[in-house]
Chains A and B, each alone.
Chain A
């Protein structure tokens, strides 16, 4: 079955750019989604189709996908961006999640 690998944690200073990666075999051939989950809350979709943002998501969130790696980029990171982030793909109509990355804003 298809697997997605994320770093367990990423740290960033306020106002700087955070980069979270997600890797998988030929991941660039699939569409990647990204979800943000804050403690005690349900996940929310922040990026779909590799780089598209739902209308309510700030433009600070962007995504890309090529080769074996997809990337979620958060520009001008704010304290409230501190959360767990999960990548996800559809693999033959099955749902696959990455293991999640804890973003710390220090």
Chain B
């Protein structure tokens, strides 16, 4: 059974760097067609895509946040790590990781999400 779990800090201060880890179980990050992305959702607002990493290590970023984001993977641990620099209160949100397994053309598995609050 495929599952994803996010981990990381819940409280941050302005200017700090956020590091979140997504641990994938039940499927290898290196399997052809597999990709993992990060999406966030501020309280009461819409989903916002942040970054995506593909099975071949191709990395893609939201144009609006590209300068602050880095996505990497550790295939030995089957983990994907997202860093977001220079945190601000507007970055307060629930952060989700989601999987494109290749079975479907969408994000077919999502983690439970991890809330991050940024104070000034």
- Secondary structure at the A interface, as helix, strand, loop or mixed, is strand
Say whether, besides A1-B63, A94-B60, A95-B52, A45 and B104 are in contact (CB < 8 Å): yes
Our pick among A42, A48, A98 for the contact of B112 (Cβ within 8 Å) is: A42
CB distance from B112 to the nearest CB of A (A): 6
B113 contacts which chain A residues (CB < 8 A)? 42
Q: Which residues on B are within 8 Å of A, measured CB to CB?
A: 37, 39, 46-49, 52, 54, 58, 60, 62-63, 96, 98, 104-108, 110-113
CB contacts (< 8 Å) of A43 on chain B: these are 47, 96, 98, 107, 110
Interface of B is mostly: loop
The answer to whether residues A93 and B106 also contact, given A42-B111, A86-B46 and a CB cut-off of 8 A, is: no
Are B105 and A49 within 8 A (Cβ)?
yes
* Contacts A35-B47, A37-B47, A95-B52 supplied; 16 other A-B pairs, CB < 8 Å: A33-B107, A42-B113, A43-B98, A43-B110, A47-B106, A48-B105, A52-B105, A86-B46, A86-B47, A88-B107, A93-B58, A93-B60, A94-B49, A95-B37, A97-B49, A100-B46
Given A42-B96, A52-B104, A88-B107, A97 and B48 contact (CB-CB distance below 8 Å)? yes
Contact A99-B105, Cβ < 8 Å, known A93-B60, A94-B62: no
Contacts of B48 in A (CB 8 A): 97
Chain B residues with Cβ under 8 A from A54's Cβ? Answer: 104, 108
- Specify which of B52, B96, B110 is in contact with A93 (CB 8 Å cutoff): B52
Residues of A within 8 A of B111 (CB): 42
Identify 5 residue pairs between A and B in the complex whose beta-carbon atoms are under 8 Å apart, listed by A's number.
A45-B106, A88-B107, A97-B47, A97-B49, A100-B46
Q: How far is the CB of B74 from chain A (nearest CB, A)?
A: 21
A96 at the interface (CB under 8 A from B): yes
Provide the bound-state CA to CA distance between A90 and B47, in Å: 15
